[in-house]
Structure 1
Amino acid sequence: MTVWFVIAVPVVVMLFALGMERVEHRLRHVSVRGEDVEEFLEQARPDEVRALYGHGIGRALELFRLRRLAGRAAKGKQRSLRS
């Protein structure tokens, strides 16, 4: 019985460590940078703040980025029309 315990515990610990490494790897790619949050808090609109409250920072930043990209695209079109 003790032999199985001595063999099983290190194996379980190694499997747990490998599992946590995979979780950590996924979280690294999903995490939000501090600069993004700071910029969001300085320039957010009410609908983006509601998204932050209702759906979390991921959805709120997605709306914020879409608005910024749409603004940049509109400025690009205006510049091309002037030329």
Structure 2
Amino acid sequence: MVALIVILFPPLLIAFLLVMERVEEPLRRQTSPREVEAFLDTATPGEVGTLASSGIRRAMSRWRARRRRRPRNMTPPAQPAVLDFDSTHGEEDRDPD
């Protein structure tokens, strides 16, 4: 039994270290300005809340995880419509009293 442990321990340790390296790699990577711009364009309110409360690293990791879950052929979320009201329209709907 001891011989089996002695034989299996080094390969298992190396496998564990390789897995941990893959886990740590995204944590060491710096956030590029292009990623920040894309984040600000497509972030959900929850992701913006994470940015405000926990900082850019956690918000970016949450955003990246959401983007990984989304199918590649799915179109990006639509931009919110910008409403253009002219000043006369607002005065017609107001109650004079």
Instruction: Normalising by structure 2, report the TM-score.
Output: 0.43
| Higher helix proportion | 1
Determine which structure has more spread, i.e. the larger CA radius of gyration. 2
Instruction: Normalising by structure 1, report the TM-score.
Output: 0.50
